[in-house]
Amino acid sequence: MNLTKNISNLLNRGTTVVAFSYNHKRRNVIIGANCASALKAPWGKPVNKALVMHNGEFYLFGRVMNSKGSKVRCFKVGEIYNPSPILCG
């Protein structure tokens, strides 16, 4: 499974909500929205609106939705597991 390719393909369709597990927690994340754009990352090189390359690793930027509201966060792509079907291509 190539998550970076699947994320890029999803962005071609616009803003999307994806779900995955990270650090033993289930995450619901909006990717591709201007308010959650990786293009604003203070570090690394933006690949697209959701991915940043930093020190040879890909990071996913998105707005995390939870009971306390939302916040822009980044996730190391190599540590994402149990992705929702939409992320699997």
At 2-30, the pLDDT tens digits run 888 999 888 888 888 899 999 999 999 99
The region, left, alpha or beta by phi > 0 then psi within -120 to 50, assigned to residue 6 is alpha
88 inside domain = no
pLDDT tier at 40, thresholds 50, 70, 90:
confident
Read off the pLDDT of each residue in 25-51 and give the average, rounded to a whole number. Answer: 84
CA distances (Å), origin 64, targets 18, 22, 30, 88: 10, 12, 7, 19
Band (pLDDT 50/70/90 cuts) for residue 89 is low
> What percent of the chain stands above pLDDT 70?
94
pLDDT at 19: 93
20 occurs within a structural domain: yes
In a domain, 89, yes or no: no
pLDDT tier, 36 (very low <50, low <70, confident <90, very high otherwise): low
Query: Is residue 86, in this structure, part of any structural domain at all?
Result: no
Asked if 14 contacts 31 with a C-beta cutoff of 8 angstroms, the reply is no
Domain that holds residue 39: 3-81
- Domain total for the chain? 1
**What whole-number distance in Å separates Cα of residue 31 and Cα of residue 74?**
11
